[in-house]
Structure 1
Amino acid sequence: MDNNLFSLFSVPTFSEATLVDLLRKRALQQPWLVAYTFLVDGETQEVSLTYQALDQKARYALRQASGLSLAAFLQSMKATGERALLLYPPGLEFIAAFFGCLYAGVTAVPVYPPRRNQRMTRLQAIAQDAQATLALTTTSVITNLAQSWKQEPELAALQCIATDDISNDLASNWLKPEITSNSLAFLQYTSGSTGKPKGVMVSHGNLLHNSALIHKCFGHTPDSHGVIWLPQYHDMGLIGGVLQPLYGAFPVTLMSPETFLQKPFRWLKAISQYKATTSGGPNFAYDLCVDKITDEQRSQLDLSSWEVAFSGSEPVLAQTIERFSATFEDCGFKRSAFYPCYGMAETTLIVSGGLKTDPPVIRFVKDKALKQNLVETATADQEDTRAIVGVGRSPLDQKIVIAHPESLTKCRDGQIGEIWVSGLSVAGGYWKKPQETQQTFNAQLQDTTEGPFLCTGDLGFLLDGELFVTGRIKDMIIIRGQNHYPQDIELTIQKSHSALRPNCGAAFSVEVEGVERLVIVQEVERSYLQKLDLDEVVRAIRQAVSEQHQLQVYAVVLLKTASIPKTSSGKIQRLACRDGFLNGSLDVVGDWTASLQQIDLLQLQQEAEAQCDSMHSKDESQTDGKSFKPAFTEEAIAQGALAEPIATWVVSHLALYLKVSPDEIDIQQPFATYGLDSAVAISLTGELAEWLDCQLEPTIFWEYPNIKVLAQYLEAECHQQREDSFIGV
Structure 2
Amino acid sequence: MQMSLTDSHSSDDEVPADLQLLTSYLFDRSHSDAPAFTFLDHASDREGIERTVTWAGLAERVRAVAVELSRVTSRGQRVAILAPQDLTYVVAFLGALHAGTVAVPLFAPEGSQHTGRLVHVLSDCAPEVWLTSLDALEKVRALAENDSVPRPKHIIAVNDPAQPDGDFTAPDIGLDEPAYLQYTSGSTRDPAGAVITHRAVVANSWQAAAAYRATTDWTVVGWLPFFHDMGLIQQLAAPVFAGCRSVFMTPFDFVKRPVRWLRAMSGRAAVMSSAPNFAFEYVSRKTSEADRAGLDLSGVRVLIIGSEPVRAGTIAEFQRMFGPHGLAATALRPSYGLAEATVFVTATDDAGPVVTAFERAALAGHRGVPVGPGTSGALELVAAGRPVGLSVRVVHPERLVALPDGTVGEIWVDGPNVADGYWQQPERSAETFGARHGDAPGRWLRTGDLGMIHDGLLYVTGRLKDLIIIDGRNHYPQDIEATVCDAHPAIRRDGVAAFPVHDEHGVEGAAVVAEYRRGGDVDEAEVSRAVRRAVSTAHDVKLRGLELVPVGALLRTSSGKVARSATKQHHWGRG
**Under a length normalisation based on structure 2, what TM-score does the superposition of the two structures give?**
0.81
* Match among 268, 288, 292 for residue 294 of structure 1: 288
Q: Residue 516 of structure 1: CA displacement?
A: 8.1
2:310 pairs, out of 313, 316, 322, with 316
Q: Distance in 2 between matches of 1:565 and 1:52?
A: 67
2:544 alignment partner in structure 1: none
Counterpart AA for 1:463: H
Code of the residue aligned with 1:75 in structure 2: it is S
Deviation at 1:268, TM superposition (A): 0.6
One-letter identity of the residue aligned with 2:61: K
Other-structure match for 1:22: 25
**What is the SS of the residue equivalent to 1:154?**
coil
Alpha-carbon distance change, 388 to 263 in structure 1, aligned in 2, over 3 angstroms: same
The one-letter code matched in structure 1 to 2:116 is T
Mapped to 2, the partners of 1:84 and 1:516 lie a distance apart of 42
Q: State yes or no: 1:425 paired with 2:417.
A: yes
Q: How far is 1:564 from its partner?
A: 4.8
- In the aligned structure 2, how far is the partner of 1:34 from the partner of 1:411? 48
The superposition leaves residues 130-161 of structure 1 with CA deviations (integer Å, 9 ceiling, x where unpaired) of 13111111233231354453132424345322
The residue aligned with 2:353 is 360
Shift of 1:595: 4.5
In the alignment of these two chains, the number of paired residues is 513
Q: Encode CA deviations 1:163-196: one digit per residue, 9 max, x unaligned.
A: 224467x968422112021121111011117985
Specify which of 456, 461, 470 is matched with residue 470 of structure 1. Answer: 461
Residue 679 to residue 244, structure 1, CA distance change in 2 (3 Å): farther
Q: Which residue of 2 aligns with 1:338?
A: 332
The equivalent residue for 1:512 is: 481
Structure-1 separation of matches of 2:467 and 2:58: 37
Counterpart of 1:64?
none
Cα distance in 1, alignment partners of residues 198 and 171 from structure 2: 13
Do 2:277 and 2:309's aligned partners in 1 also have CA atoms closer than 8 Å? yes
**Shift, 1:24, TM fit:** 1.0
Segment drifting more, 134-143 vs 435-444? 134-143
Does residue 56 in structure 1 map to residue 60 in structure 2? yes
Q: Would the alpha carbon gap of residues 677 and 87 (structure 1) be closer, same or farther in structure 2, given more than 3 Å must change? A: farther
Query: Of the candidates 488, 510, 513, which is equivalent to residue 580 of structure 1?
Result: 510
Map residues 525-674 of structure 1 onto 2, 5 A cutoff. 563-564=503-504, 566=506, 577=508, 579-581=509-511, 594-595=515-516, 599=520, 674=550
2:35 aligned partner, one-letter code: V
Q: How does 1:105-124 map to 2 (within 5 A)?
A: 105-118=100-113, 120-124=115-119
Aligned position for 1:459: 450
1:441 to 393, 409, 433: 433
Q: Is 1:676–2:552 an aligned residue pair?
A: yes
The alpha-carbon deviation at position 79 of structure 1 amounts to 2.7
Question: 1:410 is matched with which residue?
Answer: 402
Q: Which has the higher strand share?
A: 2
Q: 1:227 to 1:74 in 2, by over 3 A?
A: same
For the 8 Å contact 2:393–2:402, the answer to whether it is kept is yes
Give the partner amino acid of 1:599. Answer: G
Question: Aligned partner of 2:40: which letter?
Answer: L
Conserved in 1, the CA contact under 8 Å of 2:19 and 2:203?
A: no
CA contact (8 A) 1:8 1:216 kept: no
CA distance in 2, matches of 1:556, 1:206: 34
Q: Against the structure 1 CA distance between its residues 332 and 105, is the aligned structure 2 distance closer, same or farther, given a 3 Å change threshold?
A: same
Look up the match of 2:249. Answer: 255
Mapped contact 2:68–2:162 kept (Cα < 8 A): no
Identify the match of residue 384 of structure 2 among 385, 388, 391.
Answer: 391
Q: Give the distance between the partners of 2:2 and 2:133, measured in 1 at CA.
A: 51
Instruction: Choose which of 91, 98, 112 in structure 1 pairs with 2:93.
Output: 98
SS of equivalent to 1:467: strand
The equivalences for 1:21-100 within 5 A come to: 21-28=24-31, 31-41=32-42, 43-59=47-63, 69-100=64-95
Please give the alpha-carbon distance, in whole angstroms, between the structure 1 residues aligned to 2:249 and 2:158: 21
In structure 2, distance between residues paired with 1:338 and 1:33: 28
1:74 is displaced (CA, Å) by: 1.1
The answer as to 2:347 corresponding to 1:371 is no
3-state SS, counterpart of residue 140 of structure 1:
coil
Offset of residue 471 of structure 1: 0.8
- The aligned counterpart of 1:221 is 215
Q: Which has the higher contact order (CA 8 A, sep 6+)?
A: 2
Matches within 5 A, 1:76-225: 76-118=71-113, 120-166=115-161, 173-192=167-186, 196-225=190-219
Shift of 1:106: 0.9
Deviations 1:88-137 (A, max 9, x none): 11111000011111121111001122322446332222112213111111
Unaligned runs of 5+ in 2: 469-476, 487-493, 529-548, 557-575
Contact 2:359-2:371 at 8 Å conserved across structures? yes
**Judging changes above 3 Å, is the alpha-carbon distance between structure 1 residues 147 and 35 closer, same or farther for their aligned structure 2 residues?**
closer
Measure the CA separation in 1 of the matches of 2:453 and 2:83. Answer: 40
In structure 2, the CA distance between the partners of 1:341 and 1:448, relative to structure 1 (3 Å rule), is same
* Structure 1 pair 178–469 and aligned structure 2 pair: CA distance change class (3 A): same
The alpha carbon displacement at 1:248 in A equals: 1.4
How far apart are the structure 2 equivalents of 1:17 and 1:80?
Answer: 18
Please state how far the C-alpha of 1:372 moved relative to its aligned partner: 3.6
Shift in Å, 1:581? 3.0
User: 1:244/1:284 Cα in 2 relative to 1: closer, same or farther (>3 Å)?
Assistant: same
Residue deviations 1:648-693, cap 9 Å, x none? xxxxxxx99xx99xxxxxxxxxxxx95635999xxxxxxxxxxxxx
SS in 1 for 2:451: strand
Give the fraction of aligned pairs with identical amino acids, expressed as a percent. 31
Instruction: Specify the structure having the higher radius of gyration (Cα).
Output: 1
Give 3-state SS (helix, strand or coil) of 2:511's partner: helix
**In 2, distance between residues paired with 1:369 and 1:194?**
26
The DSSP-based 3-state class of the residue aligned with 1:261 is helix
Tell me which amino acid in the other structure corresponds to 1:39: L
What is the rounded CA distance, in whole Å, between the counterparts of 2:521 and 2:371 in structure 1? 40
What's the secondary structure of 1:164's corresponding residue? coil
Cα gap change, 1:394 to 1:9, in 2 (>3 Å)? farther
Distance 1:115 1:336, change over 3 A: same
Mapped to 2, the partners of 1:183 and 1:139 lie a distance apart of 31
Give structure 1 stretches of 5+ with no counterpart.
60-68, 478-507, 518-550, 567-575, 583-591, 602-654, 661-672, 681-729
Summarize deviations over 1:329-357 as a string: whole Å, max 9, x none.
1101111111111111111111111322x
Higher helix share: 1
Counterpart-to-counterpart distance in 2, 1:679 and 1:407 = 34
Match of 2:321 among 319, 327, 346: 327
